[in-house]
Each structure stands twice: as C-alpha cells, then as structure tokens.
Structure 1
Amino acid sequence: MTAPFSHGGFGHLLANSLTFLPLSWLVLLRGRGDYLAVWLGVYAAAIPVWLLWPVGSHGLSGVVYGLLGYLLLIGWLERRILSLVLSLAVLLTYAGILPSLLPIFSPPGVSWIGHLSGFVGGMLAAWAMARQKLPDPRV
C-alpha cells in the first residue's frame, strides 16, 4: 500500500514527479472528488497485482498511469468540448509513455503490470465520475 511513496533513488523520484505533478494538477482542476476517485481506482486495480503478481514493485508510476488513463478517457465519456480538448492535449503530450503499458516495450526491471493496473484504475475512475455527472435520462 505504500508502493507509490517509495522509490529506487532520486532519479526514480524525479522521473515520476515530472509526470505526476502536471497530471495531478489537470485532474485537480476537474475537482478533488475526481482526484480521489483516481487514487481509489488505482489502489483497487492494484490489489490483484499485489496479491497475485510474483514480484513487487514500487514508485509512483502506477498513479501516474492512473491519472493518464483518467484524463485520456474522461473527455470521450463526457463528450464536452473542453473535456475532449483536454483528453486530446494529454494524448498528444504523453503518448510516448503509453507503450510501457505492454511488457514488450517495458525495459527490464520496470513494472509494466503496475503501469497497466494503474491505467485501468484511472479509466475506472473516469467511468465512475462521468457516470455520476451524467443527467438522469429518466427525468
């Protein structure tokens, strides 16, 4: 549970922070509830990895990918122009880190499964938040 707060050195912490801070800021612009939802989604998606994956991982990158997954999906779910522009801008800016969601593109020693579970957790958070904000069609 403390994996996001442990790092393998200053370089690891710096690399994660340079992506974590702007993505966190973008999600926080949408609201504290959205930010909390991403963290909860990342932790929920990480539980099977923690229980079943034979090698542990640490670092903030799972949360980084959760923030990224949330920001990429929320625009398409809400279908509002500002949300779509945000999703597109995030895609264009951070597309280069998406291949590390797959084991064949992840360097040795990098937890692709941690990245993927974080990304899925962020997408779950986007789905939950978009669903919560949609008007009730029965009204």
Structure 2
Amino acid sequence: MNFSLLRIMWNDWPALACWVALPVVWIIHWGFPYLQRGAVPLPLALPAGVSVALLAVLFWRIKRVADLFAHGVAVSGTITDLRIARDRGRLEFEFEAGGTRLRSWMPVHKTRSLLSLARGDRVEVLHDRCRPRRAIVRTLFAR
C-alpha cells in the first residue's frame, strides 16, 4: 500500500465531495428545525440513506485507487491538458498500453500537487490491465 488515504480524499474530486458532504447532510438534518421555527424534522431515514450512498461512492473511489496501486500496470505518460473551474478540474493524460497510445482523464481537486503539473510533463500512470483507459496519475495519490 503505497497510496495515502488522505491524498485520495484531497486530490480526487468525487472522493472529496463525498467526504465533505457527509457531515453537511447531518448538520442540515439536525440544524434545520432550529433555523426554521415550527419545521418538522426530516425522517432519519433520509440523511441515513444519503450517507450510505455517499459512503458507497467514497469507498468506491478509494478502492479504485487501491486496486490500481495493487494490480495496475505502471507506465510513463504525458499530461495533455489540465482544466480547472473553481476548485475542481479535469486532468487529461496519455500513455502507451499494449502498443496502443491511449488517452484518459480523471476528476481532480485543485491542490498544490495538482497545480505543479503542466501540459507536457512526464508522469507515472497506473492503468488497469483489462481496461487500460481506467487509469490514474500515480504521483497525486502516492505517499
């Protein structure tokens, strides 16, 4: 395990969104009746269900990175584009797998380590053996 859970939750946009949304759901659930006098609290099943869905997405994103670190193929790749809108973005890169040049992308959060990457930079890419387009830039999640 050479990846960092904190770096996954900080650099991967969907993981970060789920991580932040979990306490927000419960704060809204418990705080709304105090802000809106006379409001009936929502049924407990609603925030619990939303929390289960958020946790499922968070664990899926963590497992995806963990699987690529454990079983992925490490190749050299090149950053082709980095698009950022506010605090999130899309990191696009290309690499060679099985003699074929492939392009892939990943949703990212705007961090210092992400901003250190630029178009044309060489990076280490981890890709799935069976589905090579399923890939990540290793340096964003490594310890």
- Where is the helix percentage greater, Structure 1 or Structure 2? 1
Asked which structure has the greater RCO (Cα within 8 Å, sep 6+), the reply is 1
TM-score, normalised relative to structure 2: 0.29
TM-score, normalised relative to structure 1: 0.30
